[in-house]
Amino acid sequence: MLHRMIPSSAHVPIVWHQDSYKVRDTPVTVDTVISAAKEGKTPEQIAPEVSPLSPEDVYSVLAWYHTHQDSVDAYLVRKASNPYDLYGDYVHYP
């Protein structure tokens, strides 16, 4: 499967895969990390919930998010407003 690398200054590579921003080589979506952080959880609290990420990895994901916040927030809004297309398939969010 082709993964499109998203430029990142963080050491945890973020990829666009199966219509989601994901931490490369893991099932962890950036959405999951952002959601937990917005609930007020610290990277140390988030890491055990998103194994195999370490707290340092979570910090890197959050740093990447803050660098790309406008485009990621727009993606999250589009995803929340219409997660499925007419046929029940996930909509591809560019």
Residues 6+ apart with CB under 8 A from 61: 10, 12, 14, 23, 30, 33, 53
pTM for the predicted model, two decimal places: 0.75
Write down the CATH number for the domain with range 4-81: 1.10.10
Q: Which tens digit of pLDDT belongs to each residue from 44-72?
A: 999 999 989 999 999 999 999 999 999 99
Closest to 43 (Cα-Cα) out of 24, 65, 62: 62
Name the token pair of 7.
């430029």
Q: Which tens digit of pLDDT belongs to each residue from 7-48?
A: 444 477 899 887 789 998 899 999 999 999 999 999 999 999
Is the pLDDT at 73 greater than 80, yes or no?
yes
